[in-house]
Structure 1
Amino acid sequence: MKALYKIVALVGVSVVTTSCFNKSKPNYQFFPNMYESVAYETYSQSGAFKNGKEGQLPAKGSIPRGFEPYAYENSTAGYELAKANLKSPLDSTKIDSKKGTELFNIYCAICHGEAGDGKGKLVKREKFLGVPSYADRPITEGSVFHVITYGLNSMGSHANQLSQEERWQVVDHVMKLKAGL
């Protein structure tokens, strides 16, 4: 008799568990939009914003967090103005020559050489030619900072890799290299 109860219970449990399954329509979904999301075309208009096209624009005249404005434009005239007028805002207590040397070796020495003589690894392997020595050029703190910020000729801008203070640290190191050449 106990065996009969066990068989009936087993059949009952199996009927209950399989009766909820329906191949043509799946079970109830709690958050159907997570499983079957609406597809949107990239860069298409959206009703999520007031103007229907783009997100909220920043207020006029606002400056992004961490951004420090640079007053000289990316042109030959801006380069000449920076060369003549721009001086390092860092005083002697804020200049970290070890950090400047480290940053120069990471970003600049590959082309300009560790001594600033224009004979870095890429120049020796003839990947870039015509990298000038610091001894051959009339450079100032302002001109070096401007070139690091915007780039010049084949040299690209390093403004995204180095903060303004780090660029001034590199400028300090470059000026020391120029004095040594």
Structure 2
Amino acid sequence: MKSLIKIVVIALVFVAVSCNKSTAPNYQFMPNMYESAGYETYGEAKFPNGIEAQLPAQGSIARGYVPFDIENSTEGYDLAKTTLESPLDSMAVDLNRGKELYDIYCGICHGNKGNGQGNLVKREKILGIPSYDDAGRAITAGSIYHTIYYGKNAMGSYANQLNEEERWQVVSYVLKLKADLEK
């Protein structure tokens, strides 16, 4: 019985000593996670200087965005038409991918064959979509890319829907359609 009492006393002393650790202070590594400020769900938030949204730093570029150096003007269109070439080499051009993207974004107006007879034109929702082989219409890779990037006349920009590589795939496919229509 004496040995059982000794074991219980030793266990109690051990438990009491192990709980008190005065040699290691209690640090909070991320105190704002433990003591965060409470906000009402639809309450007013106070921002510094009364600004609700911050503007990005001057000259910063969004992640994944590649700036297009040719401006959105008639002069920019003419410059793109004469100087802009596709950065894709012949091995990187994927006409099947270009066709998929063209059918999704362009075929509804321009037609799946590039003849200007898409479903919206046939239903007379929009008028005056020219065919890629119209006389006097010298389109180039640069002019197509500029038009996809900025839009032209009634056509809006597709810069947000297509990244740079996808735009060039569509340009390659449009040039193939133009060549097919001219045969």
TM-score range normalised by the length of the shorter chain: 0.7 to 0.9
Q: Measure, in 2, the Cα distance between the counterparts of 1:91 and 1:118.
A: 28
Q: Measure, in 2, the Cα distance between the counterparts of 1:38 and 1:132.
A: 51
Give the letter aligned to residue 170 of structure 2: V
- 1:5 alignment partner in structure 2: none
Give the letter aligned to residue 80 of structure 1: D
Shift of 1:145: 0.3
TM-score with structure 2 setting the length = 0.72
TM-score with structure 1 setting the length = 0.73
- 1:103 alignment partner in structure 2: 101
Give the letter aligned to residue 155 of structure 1: M
Shift of 1:82: 0.5
Shift of 1:163: 0.5
Pairing 1:73-88 to 2, within 5 Å after superposition: 73-88=71-86
* CA root-mean-square deviation: 2.1
Q: Measure, in 1, the Cα distance between the counterparts of 2:113 and 2:119.
A: 12
- 2:168 alignment partner in structure 1: 168
Shift of 1:134: 0.3
How many pairs are equivalent?
144
Does the residue aligned with 1:134 lie in a helix, a strand or coil? coil
- 1:64 alignment partner in structure 2: 62
Does the residue aligned with 2:133 lie in a helix, a strand or coil? helix
Pairing 1:127-138 to 2, within 5 Å after superposition: 127-136=125-134, 137-138=137-138
Long gaps (5+) in structure 1: 1-30
The change in CA–CA distance for 1:169 and 1:38 in structure 2 (over 3 A counts) is closer
Runs of 4+ more than 6 Å apart: none
| Per-residue CA distance 1:129-151 (angstroms, 9 max, x = gap) | 10000001210000000000110
1:159 matched to 2:159? The reply is yes
The change in CA–CA distance for 1:82 and 1:37 in structure 2 (over 3 A counts) is closer
Long gaps (5+) in structure 2: 1-35
